[in-house]
Amino acid sequence: MPFLGQDWRSPGWSWIKTEDGWKRCDSCSQELERETDQCSLSHNIILNSENEEVFSNEEHEYASKKRKKDHFRNDANSQSFYREKWIYVHKESTKERHGYCTLGEAFNRLDFSSAIQDTRRFNYVVKLLELIAKSQLTSLSGVAQKNYFNILDKIVQKVLRDHHNPRLIKNLLQDLSSTLCVLIRGVGKSVLVGNINIWICRLETILSWQQQLQNLQMAKQVDTGLTLVDLPLHMLSNILYRFSDGWDIVTLGQVTPTLHVLSEDRQLWKKLCQYHFAEKQFCRHLILSEKGHVEWKLMYFALEKHYPTKEQYGDTLHFCRHCSILFWKDYHLALLFKDSGHPCTAADPNSCFTPVSPQHFIDLFKY
């Protein structure tokens, strides 16, 4: 029997639990009621000032409902709807659940806006956005696209404010602008959700971000205390050996002549090559100097162009094999309250957790 009544696709009210039962949160409802009252007042003025009816009651009710939906749908300055720490990843319909979880839905519901404020998760989120820009941008829904660019805007503003890893963001924006140029030129051949003018505006915004990052100037800090260059040589060398990215070593080597000498250490680049690449790959791209020595630094950048490097992140999303749940693991809660980060029903939840790399996150939603 069909349901007869108002549209069941409501904008989604916020509810709070009280002693008397569940009650609707008044913050959103009062604002919408004020908008409706103002519209009703202006409607009565029109009817009183003019003898003919401009709007019928049915049209006024329809306009009121549409305004309520637009109030929830057209907030372009914030991430839409969800701030959850975990989601259930279901790939097929069951008796309990219909449909399946898409990449766009996962991107909407997981709290990426807060994740970029965490230094441990920042690089992880940026890498995930980069992979989506390269291959999965057209698979995002309209709401997911809006969330994607809202999070990207927050990342850019954070980098401009804190000067945190601008090279990583420049690479992301370069990949994203290249993808958008191809999609916009091939409009009609590829599927772009949304109006073409919206995508052109987004491309112009990306170009503006790139220009701001290009003009970014690092302010010289005046500090009379102990600085990096005051450390002993063996400690500076130990710091360089902790780096897993060759470009970070090159950048640090540009700070002082002493760091430049340490950054050119052949043993340092040999360890870095052995960490990221296999010995079989060395033989295919062997570079020797005039004296017959292996040029490990040149080999690293040559191998980097042909093979993926190992990725290191301070924190990642986790996937529970027992519950099929993707979640952010809060280590503080895990230590204090033995909280696994999601409602796990396994006897030993920690044994079911698997760290999810950015590429694994994309692969979870390929059907």
Q: What is the pLDDT of residue 155?
A: 93
Residue with the larger pLDDT of the pair 356 and 59: 356
Residue with the larger pLDDT of the pair 27 and 347: 347
For residues 286-302, give the mean pLDDT.
86
In whole angstroms, what separates CA 291 from the centre of its chain? 47
Q: Are residues 158 and 296 in the same domain?
A: no
Q: What is the pLDDT of residue 157?
A: 93
Q: Are residues 258 and 112 in the same domain?
A: no
Residue with the larger pLDDT of the pair 215 and 31: 215
Question: 229 lies in a domain?
Answer: no
SS3 assignment, position 15: strand
Q: Are residues 155 and 255 in the same domain?
A: no
Q: What is the pLDDT of residue 241?
A: 92
Q: What is the pLDDT of residue 183?
A: 83
Question: 111 lies in a domain?
Answer: yes
Q: How far apart are CA 106 and CA 87, in angstroms?
A: 7
Q: Which domain range does residue 162 map to? A: 99-217+313-364
Q: Place 342 in a pLDDT band, splitting at 50, 70 and 90.
A: low
Question: 283 lies in a domain?
Answer: yes
Q: Are residues 204 and 344 in the same domain?
A: yes
Alpha carbon dihedral 135, 138, 142, 146, in 10-degree steps, equals 40
DSSP state of 99: S
Question: 33 lies in a domain?
Answer: no
Q: Are residues 210 and 328 in the same domain?
A: yes
Question: 3 lies in a domain?
Answer: no
Q: How far apart are CA 254 and CA 250, in angstroms?
A: 7
Q: Give the tens place of pLDDT for each residue, 205-229.
A: 999 999 999 888 877 766 667 788 8
Question: 66 lies in a domain?
Answer: no
Question: 328 lies in a domain?
Answer: yes
Q: Give the tens place of pLDDT for each residue, 35-87.
A: 455 544 444 433 344 444 434 455 445 545 444 444 444 444 444 445 567 78
Lookup: tokens for 178:
């290249």
Q: Of the candidates 81, 89, 201, which has an alpha carbon nearest to the alpha carbon of residue 141?
A: 81
Q: Are residues 115 and 163 in the same domain?
A: yes
For residues 125-152, give the mean pLDDT.
88
Mean pLDDT over all residues of the chain?
Answer: 76
Q: What is the pLDDT of residue 45?
A: 39
Q: How far apart are CA 366 and CA 363, in angstroms?
A: 5
**Residue 266: φ, ψ to 5°:** -65, -35
Q: Of the candidates 95, 203, 223, 209, which has an alpha carbon nearest to the alpha carbon of residue 145?
A: 203
- Domain end, chosen from 262, 290, 306, is at 306
Q: Are residues 208 and 322 in the same domain?
A: yes
Residues 6+ apart with CB under 8 A from 79: 108, 112, 113, 147, 150, 151
Question: 54 lies in a domain?
Answer: no
Answer whether 319's CB lies under 8 Å from 326's CB. yes
Q: Are residues 104 and 206 in the same domain?
A: yes
Q: How far apart are CA 200 and CA 204, in angstroms?
A: 6
| Domains in the chain, number | 2
Q: Place 264 in a pLDDT band, splitting at 50, 70 and 90.
A: very high
